[in-house]
Structure 1
């Protein structure tokens, strides 16, 4: 129960002596046997101390009301303090959830009974991410190489083989570690569907790389303790159709997805004649599918990233759905130029940013004038959670 959603003394739950009834009446409908149950945290008589519950995992944050924490302790429960209101926040919280059948979240930040049911189930069943825990952020930052396996023309990633690229990504990540209190892990952003000058047999102006060609790069970075992000440049293709091509890769715990509206074509448009765009409804459609895939396969949270350097690239962005607990939604501020030009782009992308979005920054090795150093990059406000190199 997200105990703060109704308040600790609202009479919604049974007393301490009614623990069995609480398990039944408070459980979210649809929770299967063996999954964590969700119950109301009930008030006790003044001065009474509850017996606790050996099946309960109780979580709080620094924002949890002190009264709720006191009530939990009075009930014989020992709250675990988390950096963010989610049972997946740390390796210890996921371990606690695997060992228990009742999830109690103290405060409204846990998102209510339905959301806590989902996050507790994932915490109890999912693999952990590099560095521990089942949330992408805020437990880590990423420094990524961007490009395509077939060569360096599309980015630094393809300038060498997979294992050498992973070693370089680790070197880049190490340069950023001293400027981040969170662990910095290496990452690849791998262009999977590549915008093409020709229409191709399907007329979509987008070349689909076979998933098996990406596997060596996904393997190399994840074996190095990192993360892989599959990037789509759709042309005239439907983004959801292209995402489904890589479903097997996306079933891996350390693989996320990125959409690049720059390369979306409409009507009779052809590449390089305009900066493309999508309506946010197409991004939301992919997010719905990816969240369901993540949930059904009991995976840790996934990166879901949208590239943007012009406001028009994501139409109706204020309607972006960031409510999926299975996804960490990221806006990646692309754009090259002088530091001043890049900060103008960054600030424009921050304007009217939907709640629940994490920010990412790209450094262009050749095009930036000059490229920011690791310290300069990490002094950007807000500090980027992903930094990629192209």
Structure 2
């Protein structure tokens, strides 16, 4: 009896070992490195600073640069915070998918996926009960955002405006959602008030150390729950919003996007992108378009997808507010 059990045990180990080896081999074969390199070169759009050198190859399942993400941004409690909360869910999804089609037509070589970029921690002028000048959305609202994404198979980004708090405190509170494969993450330095100013009075800041905490946390989360790489978006429209960018650590299971978050006319937006995103390369780039603020004052207008795609490097993440 013991001999039979021993043989069975050894056989099970051999089978498990073979399966692990097969899995490892499959994973390594899944990432088309030639295609990845080609797409990264195309993304650079002729700028020799891009793609960044010595960046790790992503693990299989990575979204970027194989796809472009087009997102609606906002919060359901405020129609003024963005398109996500401005319309009822059915109408919001209809409008988002119309934008997805426009971007797909503008770049037929890159599949476009929709996303809902939900602000789940909002900065507040009032200190509030916690004294942190932020308001954490109830989980029921986050659940609603995730449900709203399902009919169009959209990704979900959970975005935080920390106020007087910090990413070290706020990020772990969202683990129950971030362990979902389709849920990704974003932070907004504008509302990280390290110097004690009330949110909205001056522009805040995050350092590379804060960003590295997030990438390390998300990386460990991917390992813990066997997840595909997470996309991590950082908003930016001034130099001070992200300090020591050259110290940001890239990881093979976290895809970093520096999102140009400034509003205004075409020339102003292009200049902001050039100096604070293109000129300080990290990994991937994003570009925000404002339905209202980009057209103020007249005769300002929104940039077209073709104009955005002509930027160096070519943004792979597009956000509408």
In the superposition, the TM-score normalised over structure 1's length comes to 0.67
Matched, 1:242 2:170: yes
* Counterpart secondary structure, 1:246: helix
| 1:37 CA displacement | 7.0
**Deviation by residue 1:214-242 (Cα, 9 ceiling, x = unmatched):** 22222222441221111110001121221
Return 367-376 or 309-318, whichever deviates more.
367-376
**Map of 1:314 onto structure 2:** 242
| 1:83 CA displacement | 1.3
Trace 1:8-87 onto structure 2 (pairs within 5 A): 34-36=19-21, 59=29, 82-84=34-36
Kindly indicate whether the alpha-carbon contact (under 8 Å) linking 2:36 and 2:66 is maintained by their aligned counterparts in 1.
Answer: no
**Deviation by residue 1:330-371 (Cα, 9 ceiling, x = unmatched):** 0001101111111110001211313xx100000111111211
| 1:372 CA displacement | 1.1
Unpaired stretches in structure 2, ≥5 consecutive residues? 1-15, 38-53, 295-299
Take 1:307 and 1:381, find their aligned partners in 2: how far apart are those partners?
Answer: 18
Kindly indicate whether the alpha-carbon contact (under 8 Å) linking 1:211 and 1:245 is maintained by their aligned counterparts in 2.
Answer: no
Kindly indicate whether the alpha-carbon contact (under 8 Å) linking 2:74 and 2:119 is maintained by their aligned counterparts in 1.
Answer: yes
CA distance 1:248–1:178, shift in 2 (3 Å): same
CA distance 1:172–1:230, shift in 2 (3 Å): same
Trace 1:1-390 onto structure 2 (pairs within 5 A): 34-36=19-21, 59=29, 82-84=34-36, 119=59, 123=60, 134-180=61-107, 181-322=109-250, 324-348=251-275, 349-354=277-282, 357-368=283-294, 369-390=300-321
Take 2:72 and 2:30, find their aligned partners in 1: how far apart are those partners?
Answer: 36
CA distance 1:268–1:216, shift in 2 (3 Å): closer
Kindly indicate whether the alpha-carbon contact (under 8 Å) linking 1:308 and 1:334 is maintained by their aligned counterparts in 2.
Answer: yes
Unpaired stretches in structure 1, ≥5 consecutive residues? 1-30, 40-54, 62-79, 86-108, 124-133
Take 2:17 and 2:127, find their aligned partners in 1: how far apart are those partners?
Answer: 48
Take 1:333 and 1:56, find their aligned partners in 2: how far apart are those partners?
Answer: 36
**Map of 2:3 onto structure 1:** none
User: May I ask how many residue pairs the two structures share in their alignment?
Assistant: 285
In the superposition, the TM-score normalised over structure 2's length comes to 0.81
Measured on the aligned residues, the alpha-carbon RMSD in Å equals 2.8
**Deviation by residue 1:16-69 (Cα, 9 ceiling, x = unmatched):** xxxxxxxxxxxxxxx988433799xxxxxxxxxxxxxxx7787499xxxxxxxx
